[in-house]
Amino acid sequence: MRIRIGARTDVGQVRSHNEDRYLTDDPLFAVADGMGGHQGGEVASRIALETLGGLHRQDGDGLDLREAVRLANRAVLDRATRDQDLEGMGTTLTALRAEGSRVRLAHVGDSRAYLLRDRELRQLTEDHTLVHRMVQEGKLTQEEAEIHPHRSILTRALGVDPELTVDQGSQDVEPGDRILLCSDGLTSMVDEAGITDILAEHENPQSAADRLIDAANAAGGQDNITVLVLDFLDEAAGEAPAGAEGAPEPQRRGVRWWRLALWTLLVLVLLGGAALGTRAWIDTQWFVGTSEGGRVALYQGIPREVFGYRLYEPVEETDILAVEAATAARGWERLPEGITAGSEREAREVIEQIRRDIEAMEEDGPGP
Ligand code: MG
């Protein structure tokens, strides 16, 4: 089967660096979402995908995808142990290899693979997150999980442990199928109904990828966003889809102008209300971060500076050392970037969770 590709990665609206990365080396495709202070996240996702790509070029059809992800994990760990600045870096990795009428998947973390068939979206991967585990255990509903302040805390990632459990799967594909690989910067901003609509509406995979990124940014773009759209086409179909796609263009262009007008109006309204609205909105936001004294602290606002102007104010400094928090549990290494919460109460819950994790570490020694 022939594959038509749409791909894009974007820094989003809040982060200063893009730590996401993707690989398109037909028939191998992958998305990696890096994390870790300094340049760690960018380095981790780059090493993971370079290792995977290198093994693919070396082994070709003989590539063992799961083993390749394990080797990528070792490569990230090796680099982290050699360079103190990169200690604690990690990355997700969701990789897909097309083999005729089926695809193989290898997956670690909270990036996702979806199949769109007959306008229905089905998730092919399982999130390795704390909240997903809590949903499975019946402690949270799916709806609560999607807005939970801890939703980005991973239970599995590359760069943590030399022995990594890698999920493996396979899926039959038919002509007309569309597969989406994406980082959580998309799925935390746009719900599955929204993703389905965009994928079903845009026949060109690059347009679909572009619109998904636009939607995540319009919803706040709180994280880096990466999207790969893979269309599986009949080999014999030749270039026919391009012609078919041209046909409804006049109508589509009409729709686009209408949309452009709406967007322009929206932007003007937003700019008009920006001075008052933004400030009022910022005052309702909370996050947990690191104080100048290196302690875990509660902040009001959003963890960002604009033209040197801070969009946050410290509210309370705790006695918890940030370095201690970072080693207590996976996820807390993101403290320097700020862990956002929906309310003051949720932010204080995050601090209590950090306290409990440190207590648990002191009792049990460092976790796995
Ligand atoms: Mg992310």
Summarised one tens digit per residue, pLDDT across range 243-294 is 444 344 444 555 667 777 888 888 877 777 766 777 777 778 899 999 888 8
| Joined tokens for residue 70 | 């394990």
The predicted structure's pLDDT at residue 216:
97
Q: Per-residue pLDDT averaged across 126-155, rounded?
A: 87
- Per-residue confidence band for 365, with pLDDT thresholds at 50, 70 and 90: low
The predicted structure's pLDDT at residue 243:
40
What are the backbone dihedrals phi and psi of residue 367, each rounded to the nearest 5 degrees, phi first?
A: -70, 180
Q: Does the CA dihedral 189-190-192-198 come out positive or negative?
A: negative
The predicted structure's pLDDT at residue 266:
82
- Per-residue confidence band for 219, with pLDDT thresholds at 50, 70 and 90: very high
**E-assigned strands of 307-367?**
309-321, 339-341
The predicted structure's pLDDT at residue 336:
86
List Cβ neighbours of 117 (8 Å cut-off, separation of 6 or more).
174, 176, 177, 178
Cα of 100 to ligand 1 centre, how many Å? 31
The predicted structure's pLDDT at residue 209:
98
How far is 166 from 33, CA to CA, in rounded Å?
Answer: 16
Query: Helices 40-59 & 65-82, crossing angle to 10 degrees?
Result: 140
Cα of 158 to ligand 1 centre, how many Å? 14
Does the pLDDT at position 32 exceed 90? yes
Q: Does the CA dihedral 31-33-38-44 come out positive or negative?
A: negative
How far is 114 from 198, CA to CA, in rounded Å?
Answer: 13
Cα of 34 to ligand 1 centre, how many Å? 7
Looking at per-residue pLDDT, the higher value among 368 and 266 belongs to: 266
| Joined tokens for residue 288 | 């947990």
Average pLDDT across the chain, whole number: 88
The predicted structure's pLDDT at residue 244:
47
Ranking 122-136, 187-201, 276-290 by mean pLDDT, the lowest is: 276-290
Of 46, 10, 55, 47, which Cα lies nearest the Cα of 28? 55
Does the pLDDT at position 240 exceed 50? no
Cα of 14 to ligand 1 centre, how many Å? 12
Cα of 225 to ligand 1 centre, how many Å? 7
Looking at per-residue pLDDT, the higher value among 125 and 336 belongs to: 125
The predicted structure's pLDDT at residue 247:
41
Q: Provide long-range contacts, Cβ within 8 A and 24+ apart, for 15-20.
A: 15/223, 15/224, 15/337, 17/41, 17/42, 17/224, 18/42, 18/224, 19/44, 19/45, 19/224, 20/45, 20/183, 20/185, 20/224, 20/225, 20/226
Cα of 251 to ligand 1 centre, how many Å? 36
Cα of 300 to ligand 1 centre, how many Å? 22
Cα of 9 to ligand 1 centre, how many Å? 11
| Joined tokens for residue 35 | 């994390």
Does the pLDDT at position 302 exceed 90? no
Ranking 5-14, 301-310, 325-334 by mean pLDDT, the lowest is: 301-310
Q: pTM above 0.85?
A: no
Place of tokens 């910067």: 185
Give the CA radius of gyration of the chain. Answer: 21
Does the pLDDT at position 8 exceed 50? yes
The predicted structure's pLDDT at residue 255:
61
Give ion ligand 1 contacts, CB < 5 A: 33, 183-185, 223
Q: What percent of the chain has pLDDT over 90?
A: 57
The predicted structure's pLDDT at residue 249:
42
The predicted structure's pLDDT at residue 260:
78
- 86 Cα distance to chain centroid: 20
The predicted structure's pLDDT at residue 242:
43
Cα-based distances in Å from 49 to 54, 94, 136, 157, 345: 8, 10, 30, 14, 39
Cα of 235 to ligand 1 centre, how many Å? 35
How far is 236 from 155, CA to CA, in rounded Å?
Answer: 44
Cα of 33 to ligand 1 centre, how many Å? 5
Q: Per-residue pLDDT averaged across 118-142, rounded?
A: 92
Cα of 52 to ligand 1 centre, how many Å? 20
